[in-house]
Amino acid sequence: MFRKILDFEIEIIRSNRRTLSIKVVDDGRILVRAPLRMSERQIMRYVYEKQDWIEHTMQKLAEERFRMESIPKFTESEMRKYILQAKEVIPQRVEYYARQMGVSYARISIRSQRTRWGSCSGKGNLNFNCLLVLTPPEVLDYVVVHELCHLREMNHSVRFWQQVESVLPDYKVRRKWLKMHGGELIERLP
């Protein structure tokens, strides 16, 4: 059910729940999740009470959209260059650490992913983001070791992180760099 209130388009989704919740969606809609038997009047009162929060959140979304649109994207030729560099550098680092760790892998793929820096399939295939060549070498090595450790532990358990730490005692510093700066690179993907 859609309502237009306070210059916002509000979608009410009723379900078998006990509480109300509001979510501002990227496209500017407001999703209100409500219990099945709650009156529309109660729901609207809740929305009015949250008006300041809604406006603040929508303003932040608009600012983020503007910021994203102003970030220069990588060109096709830049992307080709990064993929070629990654196809040269990453397999060397994988081979080095695989030998050191005593693990074997199936194949390596280089991609331009928006959500992952690397992944490991159950068949032992390794996938890496080409933008890793733009990170410091120790960060690239962290992602390589992380994925190689998944060949032994296909999860993020305590044992998994102990294996990562046994190869890279400072892995937390490397991971922190990726969390703090990696998004800046991903945002530039075309």
Residues 124 and 140 in one domain: yes
Interatomic CA distance for residues 154 and 85, integer angstroms: 28
Residues 137 and 175 in one domain: yes
pLDDT at 3 (0 to 100): 52
Interatomic CA distance for residues 126 and 38, integer angstroms: 50
Residues 86 and 119 in one domain: yes
CATH of the domain at 155: 3.30.2010.10
Last residue within a domain, chosen from 70, 97, 123: 70
HEC profile of the chain: CEEEECCEEEEEEEECCCCCEEEECCCCCEEEEEECCCCHHHHHHHHHHCHHHHHHHHHHHHHHHHHHHHCCCCCHHHHHHHHHHHHHHHHHHHHHHHHHHCCCCCCEEEECCCCCCEEECCCCCEEEEHHHHHCCHHHHHHHHHHHHHCCCCCCCCHHHHHHHHHHCCCHHHHHHHHHHHHHHHHCCCC
CA dihedral 161, 164, 170, 176 (to 10 degrees): -60
Last residue within a domain, chosen from 70, 88, 116: 70
Interatomic CA distance for residues 157 and 165, integer angstroms: 13
Query: 94 lies in which domain range?
Result: 76-186
* Under 8 Å between Cβ of 80 and 98: no
Q: Cα 121–127–131 angle (5° rounding)?
A: 155
Six token digits for residue 171 = 């892995």
Residues 81 and 49 in one domain: no
Q: pTM of the predicted model, to two decimals? A: 0.69
User: Along the chain (190 residues), what's the average pLDDT of each consecutive run of 10 residues?
Assistant: 62 94 87 94 91 90 77 93 98 98 97 94 97 98 98 97 98 97 92
Six token digits for residue 160 = 């998994």
Residues 64 and 114 in one domain: no
Residues 181 and 89 in one domain: yes
pLDDT at 66 (0 to 100): 76
pLDDT at 29 (0 to 100): 84
pLDDT tens digits for range 65-82: 777 677 789 999 999 999
Last residue within a domain, chosen from 38, 55, 70: 70
Residues 145 and 177 in one domain: yes
- Total structural domains within the chain: 2
Residues 88 and 148 in one domain: yes
Residues 114 and 160 in one domain: yes
pLDDT at 4 (0 to 100): 53
